[in-house]
């Protein structure tokens, strides 16, 4: 079986790429990707750009997205605009969307990839910690979707892809905040899909399994998780040790 690539602290573009789809599948489309400066969002931006797309990648750290944009443009030859924004701050989201529209004249695709996570037992999770993850994942997804709807998608149609997770499907220890936030995003996806579908806006969720070499995977901290599951077993709590 193929071995996963070694873990790295900073994302790089693929040294080689064989197109899975027609190489010009996304030619001259524009994708807006909060969370596109690292991990899964970075790779989505790269694959989109390798299929002809221009991208806007946005996160709190302008340094991170600027470095990522340099790599993405060098590897693909397509344009990538790095912007600073916190998805929890509506004025920043609106300003970033305005700037992207000024630069490219349109946005075809929104990929909601920004998220926050850590392992913590529900019994010690602070109220603000739960709220923080809900704010980034759930409200952040609504903020960007709603702003883009108003500023462009309502009149031109578009595509929204929400990156979620399978944590909440069966329940998982130490993840009540992330599982709840992503489950809410899945529900939001279904609501927006039926409400905005008739306006030519396609809304979908994509829930990856654990992806090695990403911050999300690193934060799952396997020894701690194993210890917590052992504790559950001793207390005869079920379900036990569910795989991700």
Element (H, E) at 194: helix 176-196
Pick from 70, 210, 230, 239 the residue near ligand HXC by CB under 6 A: 210
With the C-alpha atoms ordered 80, 82, 85, 86, is the resulting torsion angle positive or negative? positive
Q: Does 165 bind ligand HXC (CB under 6 A)?
A: yes
Q: What are the backbone dihedrals phi and psi of residue 17, each rounded to the nearest 5 degrees, phi first?
A: -145, 130
Residue 34 near which of ligand NAP, ligand HXC, none (CB within 5-8 Å, type-dependent) = ligand NAP
Q: Does 217 bind ligand NAP (CB under 6 A)?
A: yes
Pick from 34, 36, 82, 116 the residue near ligand HXC by CB under 6 A: 116
Edge-first strand listing for the sheet containing 30-34: 80-84, 54-59, 30-34, 109-112, 158-163, 201-206
Q: Does 157 bind ligand HXC (CB under 6 A)?
A: no
**Residue with the closest Cβ to ligand HXC?**
116
Pick from 100, 147, 163, 183 the residue near ligand NAP by CB under 6 A: 163
Q: What is the size of the binding site for ligand NAP (CB under 6 A)?
A: 30
Alpha-carbon distance 125 to 101, whole Å? 39
Q: Does 186 bind ligand NAP (CB under 6 A)?
A: no
Interface residues with ligand HXC (CB under 6 A)? Answer: 115-118, 120, 126, 128-129, 132-133, 165, 167, 178, 210, 215-216, 219, 244
Interface residues with ligand NAP (CB under 6 A)? Answer: 34-35, 37-41, 59-61, 64, 85-88, 113-116, 136, 140, 163, 165, 208, 210-211, 214-217
């Amino acid at each position: 079986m193929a071995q996963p690539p070694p873990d790295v602290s900073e994302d790089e573009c693929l040294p080689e790429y064989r197109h899975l789809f027609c190489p010009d599948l996304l030619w001259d489309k524009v994708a807006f990707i909060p969370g596109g400066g690292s991990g899964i969002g970075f790779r989505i931006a790269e694959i989109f750009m390798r299929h002809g797309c221009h991208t806007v990648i946005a996160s709190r750290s302008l340094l991170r997205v600027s470095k990522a944009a340099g790599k993405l443009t060098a590897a693909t030859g397509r344009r990538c605009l790095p912007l600073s924004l916190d998805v929890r701050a509506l004025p920043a989201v609106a300003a970033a969307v305005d700037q992207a529209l000024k630069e490219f004249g349109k946005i075809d695709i929104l990929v909601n990839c920004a998220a926050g996570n850590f392992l913590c037992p529900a019994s010690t999770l602070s109220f603000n910690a739960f709220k923080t993850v809900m704010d980034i994942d759930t409200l952040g997804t609504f903020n960007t979707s709603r702003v883009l709807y108003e500023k462009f998608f309502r009149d031109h149609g578009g595509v929204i892809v929400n990156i979620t997770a399978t944590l909440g499907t069966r329940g998982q220890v130490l993840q009540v905040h992330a599982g709840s936030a992503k489950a809410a995003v899945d529900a939001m996806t279904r609501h927006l899909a039926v409400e905005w579908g008739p306006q030519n806006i396609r809304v979908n969720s994509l829930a990856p399994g654990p992806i090695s070499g990403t911050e999300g995977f690193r934060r799952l901290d396997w020894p701690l998780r194993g210890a917590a599951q052992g504790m559950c077993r001793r207390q005869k709590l079920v379900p036990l040790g569910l795989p991700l």
